[in-house]
Amino acid sequence: MNGWDWIKGASSSSMSSMPSMARSRTSSHITDRQPSSRTVRLGRIQPQAPGHRTIYCNDREANLPVRFKFRRVANLYFLMISILSTTPISPVHPITNVVPLSLVLFVSLVKEAFEDWKRLNNDKVINSSPVDVLVEQKWVSIPWRKLQVGDIVRVKQDGFFPADLLFLASTNPDGVCYIETANLDGETNLKIRKALERTWDYVLPERAAEFKGEIQCEQPNNSLYTFTGNLIMEKQTLPLTPNQGCSLRNTEYIVGAVIFTGHETKVEYIFSDKTGTLTRNLMEFFKCSIGGEMYGMGVTEIERGAAQRSGHQVDEVKRSPTAVHEKGFNFDDPRLMRGAWRNEQDPEICKEFFRCLAICHTVLPEGDESPEKIMYQAASPDEAALVIAAKHFGFFFYKRTPTMVMVRESHVEKMGKIQDVSYEILNVLEFNSTRKRQSVVCRYPSGRLVLYCKGADTVIYERLSDGNGNMKKVTREHLEQFGSAGLRTLCLAYKDLDVEYYGAWNEKFIQAKSALREREKKLDEVAEMIENELVLLGCTAIEDKLQEGVPACIETLSRAGIKIWVLTGDKMETAINIAYACSLINNDMKRFVISSETDEIRDIEDRGDAVETARAIKDLVKQELKRCTGEAERSLHMTPAPKLALVIDGKCLMYALDPQLRGSLLRLSLNCSSVVCCRVSPLQKAQVTSLVKNGARKITLSIGDGANDVSMIQAAHVGVGISGLEGMQAVMASDFAIAQFRFLTDLLLVHGRWSYIRICKVVTYFFYKNLTFTLTQFWFTFRTGFSGQRFYDDWFQSLYNVIFTALPVIMVGLFDKENIFFVIYVLMSTFYFYLTLLLVPVVALFGDFLYIGLQRWFAPYDYQIIQEMHRRDPQESTRTELQEIGRRLTPDEERSYAIAQLPRETSRHTGFAFDSPGYESFFALQAGVYVPQKAWDVARRASMSGPQPRTQKI
């Protein structure tokens, strides 16, 4: 990890909308891809070059924040319909379409405004956090929101990083610091970061103000785990390595330069990962093979399950007095414990094996430097288990600096002697999913240069030197036995390096590490040059036990007709035994195995011809797919038809996913109840998921717990993340999050069934509701001669779906569970239920009171009010008397009847018809009928304009 380290900053509110907030390069508001690189000029101004951006240190005016725009397009269909309703060709009033659209948008606006308001309050708190910024050779505290690119900042212990920082100096010796990235990816393991020796003294503000340099780096992007950049100081180019952080630990304070701020910063088929998803991801060192000799006497859960299936009984092995069991270590073999390895046939290879465990890693020690109290912070549980194993074998790793690893070795020179040895770490070739190995180049105190390497057996065996074939063969047999027991295996190897050879290689390594483009690819190519001609030391076997309830969960899902596929990077034997242990495969199934681990393929691989090897594997896959597909189709016609299971490894899967063969793979896979894919990469996981999703048109679900499962989770229709020990990346990329695999049963079979029933009810309701609404209008057109006249009022049509028919949907949501009586019981047992019963009529009456009050206030002369005022006036005849048949009318009744027959006029002033009883005297006068005048006739005369025609007497 030589060179400047780049620390990514974030806080618990890293997704905030404030522009000065560090956002871990996950901002979704950057709509356009920026140029590939930019230049950060520290201390002086330089014109910008094309494709670069310049940031000036200690010049706040020159570093104006970059603003971005974003757009949202929604509800275009309803908007177009609303626009068309305003044209003359529309049979409906515009309000019919505008009101529902406006109501939906208003509700969405209120909801988003409320969420933005809460986020704004949280952002105000976060962005008001203080940070020390260098101003005129002294530290000045300012809030985060005022931070700008190019500022030199000081972050204290346990403080959060306010932006993406370039690590300059630290109060710790050798310019190192420890960071925690929990707010980025959920990992609580501490990670070490360091600066170059040339900047270690930039701790004090006087020295930090003298810092000058030019940084060439990539533009802001959404990649959280990659960064490419170089620092140029005094015409010397220094590489910036991709490191990320969130909060500072175990360090008084650090000094850094701000690089990025604000928006610039970084159910039919189930596809499941194995480690951490089906298993607990609690690794324990269980067995090992050193120099062709197997060590370890324990029995795994997988071995017990296999013995029970075959009808055998496994006797419990009594633990020896030297057995040790702590977290990460469950090993029992007196031949290796307490220095007994010195009495083995080849103690030198045992010593190299243990040193490889103690040196080849990136683990950080914490706490007291004693074997009993020390704690290890590792990137994965596997790595921690290996370091713990080295401690119990007498090689105690207790301290690390950026360039040194300190190991307390016991029984090396003679029994009982303990000595502290410092190994200088020259290069670290880190592990990734493509390389599947990790290497460390170290220098002994004596000057000896050694490369230690550990990784998957497939990649290690490809890089071993010729000779010692018997040990390779025996170790491979041990690997298969460990895999059959469900153990995770790693191979260990080493190589002595010549000083001149290493010097030439190191120059190429530095050049590759300084590359701005395709740095990872070039580093892998350089690593291939030195990771060859290795000497095999042996292999380790780590147990990862199954999670509670996994077999029962898989069995239940299988009985429900759901097919489960396991996509894992483990060995085939390990994956098969895990599949047996969790009831994914049983002895009643017909099993198809497509593997590249055959004698024919191994012989071709030993020749070293990559083209011939690829052709042989492709031909093998083609033949096996054809054979297995034929057998599967014949098996389906048998009575009873047996269940089928397919097991395929990563090499064969790579060729099976070829466009020419993927159809055959899909047909075979769809006929199988279970599929296990071994030794697969994250990309292959996503390809398999997409094959079923797009090729078979089936609903798919992917479940995983680590970063290597993100592509698989995102490729499926439904993604489920498990919040385990490998961080929160799978959870953040998923649709649902659960704690253990067994909860998938409730998610699919309980909540899934409720959702299915709920959707069916709602779909049926909406179908018949709209059918009733439409058919009424359809039959009405026959009565109107297809004139286009509408049956419904505009307001009724607008509010039909929005309000009038919304109550059934609410009731379906309220009584979602099948046990309605239980829901009613729960509702009636709450205080809010009775409070609601009381408030509903009160609110309704209060609303009616407000409506009437407003109506009378703004329209006091409305005819309805006049009717209400004279509703209690005495009448000369009652309704009963009017309804009597055959009775002769009185003169008053005849006059009332005549008044009722008068024509209805319309006021020129108000536009309303004068049909209320208050104006009957005026109408009677116009018709020649005498009626006593009343006071309110004045309102009628005042509303009329123009001369009225006179009645002429004949």
Token pair belonging to 389 = 């194993």
Token pair belonging to 674 = 């279970």
Helix (H, G, I), strand (E, B) or coil at 674: strand
- As a whole number of angstroms, the distance between CA 630 and CA 233 comes to 67
Tell me the CB-side half-sphere exposure of residue 785, using CA atoms within 13 A.
1
Helix (H, G, I), strand (E, B) or coil at 477: helix
Helix axes 76-84, 95-127, angle to 10 degrees: 140
Dihedral-angle region of residue 697 (phi above 0 means left; psi in -120 to 50 means alpha; beta otherwise): left
What is the C-alpha radius of gyration for the chain, rounded to an integer number of angstroms?
Answer: 40
Which amino acid is present at 781?
A: T
Residues designated as active site: 273
- As a whole number of angstroms, the distance between CA 697 and CA 711 comes to 19
Alpha-carbon distances of 276 from 714, 771, 846, rounded to whole Å: 18, 50, 58
Nearest to 340 by CA among 393, 386, 293: 393
Q: How far is residue 390 CA from its own chain's centroid?
A: 36
Contact between 554 and 645 under an 8 Å Cβ cutoff? The reply is no
Helix (H, G, I), strand (E, B) or coil at 441: strand
Nearest to 194 by CA among 171, 216, 210: 171
- As a whole number of angstroms, the distance between CA 202 and CA 254 comes to 9
Say how many C-beta atoms besides its own lie within 10 A of residue 362's C-beta: 20
- As a whole number of angstroms, the distance between CA 39 and CA 599 comes to 55
Helix (H, G, I), strand (E, B) or coil at 408: strand
Contacting residues for 805 by C-beta, under 8 A, at least 6 apart: 769
Helix axes 301-310, 572-581, angle to 10 degrees: 70
Helix (H), strand (E) at residue 870:
none
What is the widest separation between alpha-carbon atoms in the chain?
A: 149
- As a whole number of angstroms, the distance between CA 58 and CA 150 comes to 6
Alpha helices in 238-343 (DSSP H): 301-310
- As a whole number of angstroms, the distance between CA 273 and CA 708 comes to 9
Token pair belonging to 499 = 């000083």
- As a whole number of angstroms, the distance between CA 335 and CA 293 comes to 11
Which amino acid is present at 876?
A: E
Nearest to 361 by CA among 407, 409, 324, 410: 407
Contact between 256 and 167 under an 8 Å Cβ cutoff? The reply is yes
- As a whole number of angstroms, the distance between CA 543 and CA 487 comes to 5
- As a whole number of angstroms, the distance between CA 152 and CA 159 comes to 16
- As a whole number of angstroms, the distance between CA 692 and CA 697 comes to 7
Say how many C-beta atoms besides its own lie within 10 A of residue 186's C-beta: 17
Edge-to-edge strand ranges of the sheet holding 736-738: 590-594, 644-649, 674-678, 563-567, 269-272, 700-704, 718-722, 736-738
Token pair belonging to 858 = 């703004």
- As a whole number of angstroms, the distance between CA 438 and CA 427 comes to 11
Contact between 724 and 708 under an 8 Å Cβ cutoff? The reply is no
Token pair belonging to 321 = 């007095």
